Structure 1
């Protein structure tokens, strides 16, 4: 069978790191890892699953699932402390920079997004001057399954507020499928971002302030057996507070370390590693 155009163009010339953050995803992580079957050989140079000290059996489930893809270089890493979702991003971004990757793809371990949605947009992104490619649940072409109308309305409201604050139309503030150009990550202080679930909100405001060129693409999004860690009203108040602070006290916002972790250290321990039989 001949190579696909994506396969021919990417091959091994671009080094993509696939980063999967995980917390209490024992049931979902095998399905996320199975998505490796949906990408062409050469597209994923390495995969890291970063577990934020889950009390369930997610680590064991990830190891077993990765064993079905022995040709993919992969690691399962456990954070040495409770860093939150944002802290896990910092572990992965640091790893991508230190190991010389070109791009880092974020695919959440709760199996709500599909990496296949990103593939048609990769080549246009690669040949552009954009700094990131962000999955959007609320733009034309996106598909939502079992997502409440209340939460959809809330997202549209906050997308509008952040768009006004950032001076650019934003279609999503933080889905579970994003791609960042690693050389762009070296030019922003992402370690200042909050370590909790608001990490992406800080990230999008800081990157807009830094002059990043953001690109969005429509994704499919579903809620089946996932357990949400978001307390809606508390999260909404926090989100409103941070965007208002950005609008009113922009320089103070940008100059503040919101992480609550002044040592800026995010060590993580590799608990499983598999070399590649051949590069996928």
Structure 2
């Protein structure tokens, strides 16, 4: 467990249609990982399969050294909406840091341990896993997609006037003090939420550090339509470059919600 009275770390696992992978994600939480965190929270976005049930079954025997929470969104909010639900829960329940680990078993939570051991999470607002930097390891990722990501990283770097090494790898950590204002409520609820968060963090001068990760593609199913997604990301970037203040201030959600409620369907372990 993290040091009582100083910091509390919640690992948020967004999950949708990944029953086959979520058990492997839960298996990443060995004794070393559980010793360094306080809570693992799987947030299921109304999966049509038994993703949440599989997570609970695996966690009953695997996660015994920290708290485990299984949460189901009251509606399908999208990936961004699940982030908002988790950020709100973590802030309201007194956590100091939030780790995002995608539930499709592409990233590995153990790549974060050296930064926790060194205390880097206390000195930075955002620790962002990067697939395309020295020390990273890619398995099963096509060369075409790799170069496409590198091009987008370059474009974002030019827009923010800083070094962007990855737009969203599936493993990030945030110091919640920098996010208490909940300004990201108006960001998209879909997969482009991560891009808005990244642009906003640079605009707000957050202390950002990238770190190398291991990342693989095996049996995962992508929910991304690559061509349409690419054009939308370019549109977001162009709007940011034209007027970043106005762009980050407006509500760009397709559906405006006052909150992103959900239900805790299972919990075990000490809080």
TM-score interval for Structure 1 and Structure 2 normalised by the shorter chain = over 0.9
Alignment partners' CA distance in 1, 2:244 and 2:34: 44
2:101 to 90, 101, 107: 107
Is the counterpart of residue 257 in structure 1 residue 235 in structure 2?
no
Alignment partners' CA distance in 1, 2:259 and 2:27: 32
Alignment partners' CA distance in 2, 1:202 and 1:179: 16
Alignment partners' CA distance in 1, 2:122 and 2:264: 34
Is the counterpart of residue 15 in structure 1 residue 8 in structure 2?
yes
- 2:19 aligned counterpart, secondary structure: coil
Aligned to 1:96: 90
**Number of residue pairs aligned between Structure 1 and Structure 2:** 268
Gaps of 5+ in 1: 1-6
Q: TM-score, normalised by structure 2?
A: 0.95
Is 2:121–2:173's contact at 8 Å kept on the other side of the alignment?
no
Q: CA deviation at 1:41?
A: 4.6
1:273 to 260, 264, 267: 267
Q: CA deviation at 1:272?
A: 1.0
Is 2:121–2:127's contact at 8 Å kept on the other side of the alignment?
no
Alignment partners' CA distance in 1, 2:184 and 2:164: 19
Alignment partners' CA distance in 2, 1:40 and 1:75: 16
97-106 or 37-46, larger mean C-alpha shift: 37-46
1:81 to 68, 71, 75: 75
- 1:27 aligned counterpart, secondary structure: helix
Q: CA deviation at 1:39?
A: 2.9
Is 1:11–1:42's contact at 8 Å kept on the other side of the alignment?
no
1:53 to 37, 43, 46: 46
Aligned to 1:158: 152
Alignment partners' CA distance in 2, 1:224 and 1:261: 34
